[in-house]
Amino acid sequence: MVESTFKELEHQAWLAKAEIYRDEFGKITARAIDPILDTFGDLARRTLLDVACGTGELTSAAAARGAISKGLDFAATMVETARQKYPRIQFSEGDAENLPYADGTFDAIVCSFGLLHLQEPDKAIGEVRRVLKAGGRYTFTSWCGPDQGGDFFKILIGAIQKHGTFDVLLPPAPPLFRFGDMEECSNSLLNGGFVDPAVQIIELEWSTQDASSIVEFVYKSMVRTSMVLRMQSEKARKEIHRSLIEGAESYRQGNLIRLRFPATLATART
């Protein structure tokens, strides 16, 4: 496994997660669609590219607002699922770090929770700048970490640190919460050639009645973390699972467990 790069492992894993991601983590990210699209104002007859589009929910929502929208994802299974669900929208397989479009093609580009899955996110930001028209706008979202109110990540990271290890045979990965920092978002956009960056925190949430479902949630919705868990000893893995369930249970309010998933929403123009 160590012979693969971070990018290769991400690609292999997302090929297998098209449907289950939408049904798990996709329920959370769907709540960010309207705030993301609101940053573009009136989208009628404007060209929009959804980078790392997944199964196409945001791409479709943009089209419903009048945009001439296209979706791009590096996982062929995601693209195929999106095409089946939204046959009137163009979805393509492609690399966010090497966009297959000419300079100045789009009025608007969005990347919803995709940058953290890229080996070279700054290169991807530069590619967005290249294919945007003058005066175009780019908006992306990314998860905040435990120090910024991320209940789920606090439970998850704490469980692994206490009962297992992050020191496993996986290729080096970019910092998971790099773009959870508002200043880092602004600086990355400015360094990428954008102007007038604006960053805000949007409050998202995952809820469940059954604390044990948090374990399934991790394996179905996450790529690198699920690999980390599978590479623990059997004893450590069982203890991590137990700690995850206990941690989730501590957030119970009545019949429902609510875990916060705050995220940065960053936008800027060319």
Arithmetic mean of pLDDT over the chain: 94
Residues of the chain with pLDDT under 70: 1-3, 16-23
Query: In this structure, are residues 174 and 121 in contact, taking their beta carbons and an 8 Å threshold?
Result: yes
Q: What residues does each domain of the chain span?
A: 6-145+174-207+261-269
DSSP labels for 169-180? S------TTGGG
Residue that the structure tokens 């009025």 belong to = 107
Angle between helix 76-85 and helix 6-15 axes, rounded to 10 deg: 40
In order of 94, 103, 133, 208, the CA distances from 51 in angstroms are 9, 16, 16, 30
Query: In this structure, are residues 219 and 41 in contact, taking their beta carbons and an 8 Å threshold?
Result: no
Domain 6-145+174-207+261-269 superfamily per CATH: Vaccinia Virus protein VP39 (3.40.50.150)
What does the pLDDT read at residue 121?
Answer: 97
In order of 11, 29, 127, the CA distances from 202 in angstroms are 27, 11, 25
Cα–chain-centroid distance for residue 263?
A: 10
What does the pLDDT read at residue 172?
Answer: 87
In order of 27, 96, 211, 224, 259, the CA distances from 253 in angstroms are 20, 40, 12, 30, 11
What does the pLDDT read at residue 19?
Answer: 66
Beta strands in the chain (DSSP E): 47-51, 68-73, 90-93, 106-112, 132-143, 195-202, 205-208, 252-253, 256-260, 263-269
What does the pLDDT read at residue 1?
Answer: 43
Q: Give the SS3 label for residue 266.
A: strand
Instruction: Supply φ then ψ for residue 9, to 5 degrees.
Output: -65, -40
What does the pLDDT read at residue 10?
Answer: 80
